[in-house]
Amino acid sequence: MAQESQVLTATLNQLSEIDRYNLWMFEQFAAYVGRRVIEVGAGTGNITQFLQAHHRQVIATDVMPGYRQALAKRFGHLPNFQIGQFDLTQAAPAEWRAEPVDTVVCLNVLEHIEDDLFALRQMQSVLAVEGHLALLVPAHRWLYGAFDRAVGHFRRYTKEELAGKLHGVGFQVREVKYFNLAAVLPWLVNGRVLKRAHLPKGQVSLVDRLVPLLKLERLIGPPCGLSLIAIARKQ
C-alpha cells in the first residue's frame, strides 16, 4: 500500500502540471455538471479547479488525509466549497444522502475499488433524482500492465461491462465513449512491453502540448481509447 501511495502521489503531481489535458478531460462531461457537486477522489484538485468555477457548490472528497490538506490549502478560502471524505468501500455519509446533489464526478477511482457495484450504489445514493454521475475509468482489459498493478487497479473496463454495471444498480446510461485514442499505443508499450510502473515525464508533458491535435478524435468517434467516460442518470 505504501508503494501504491507513492506511485499515485507521483502521478498526481505529474498530472497537476498538464492543465490543457485536465481541461480537455473536464470538457467531456462539463455539460452534465449541475450546481451542487460531489467529487470523489479529488486528489490535489486537478479537476476541482474547473468544477468550482461558475459559483457551483462543490464538495471535494478524498480518503487520503494529505490530499485533503492540499485541497484545503488550494481551495479552502473559496465560498461554497467543502472538503470531505467519501470512502467507496463504506456506506455513503448520511448527511449527503439526506441532502443529495445534482452531480457526482468520479474520475480514475472506481478501478481502485474491489466491489465496484457497491461503490456505484453509494454514489447513486447521494444523487438527487435525475442527477448525473460522470465517471471515467481505464479502458480495455488487454491494456492492463505494470502501471495498473503499481497503482492498485483491480481492473480495466470494457464498454459493455461498464454500461452493464451501471444498468445493474439502476442508472440510466446516457453515454459511454472512449477517450484519448492516441495514448493507447504508448500505454501498451510502457505497461505491457517495457513493464514500466511509472509514467515517463517527457511523454506526459508531450501529451499536454498535443492536446489541440488530440481533440480531433471527436471527429471520428474513436473506436478505442485509454479511458472510458460514462454519463449516467439516476432514475
The residues, any chain, with a CB within 8 Å of residue 32's CB and separated by 6 or more, are 103, 132, 134, 174, 231
Q: What is the dihedral of CA 107, 110, 113, 117, to 10 degrees?
A: 150
Q: Which residue has the cell 448527511?
A: 95
Q: How many other CB atoms are found less than 10 A from the CB of residue 87?
A: 15
For residue 54, what pLDDT is reported? 83
For residue 111, what pLDDT is reported? 98
For residue 3, what pLDDT is reported? 56
For residue 185, what pLDDT is reported? 93
Find, among 77, 64, 235, 72, the residue nearest to 166 by Cα. Answer: 235
For residue 2, what pLDDT is reported? 55
Q: For helices 201-209 and 19-27, give the axis angle rounded to 10 degrees.
A: 60
For residue 11, what pLDDT is reported? 67
For residue 197, what pLDDT is reported? 78
Rounded to whole angstroms, how far apart are CA atoms 222 and 32?
21
Rounded to whole angstroms, how far apart are CA atoms 157 and 164?
11
Q: Which residue has the cell 462543490?
A: 58
Domain count, the chain: 1
- CA-to-CA dists, residue 222 to 22, 173, 206, 216, 218, angstroms: 19, 19, 20, 10, 7
- The helix or strand, by DSSP H or E, that contains position 147, with its residue range, turns out to be helix 146-150
For residue 207, what pLDDT is reported? 85
- CA-to-CA dists, residue 216 to 147, 179, 186, angstroms: 27, 11, 18
Q: Which domain holds residue 83?
A: 2-234
The residues, any chain, with a CB within 8 Å of residue 89's CB and separated by 6 or more, are 113, 114, 115, 118, 119
Provide the CB-side half-sphere exposure for 20 (13 A, CA).
12
What is the pTM for the complete model shown? 0.92
CATH at residue 153: 3.40.50.150
Mean pLDDT by 10 residues, the chain (235 residues): 62 72 96 97 95 92 95 94 98 97 98 98 98 98 94 96 98 98 92 84 84 93 96 97
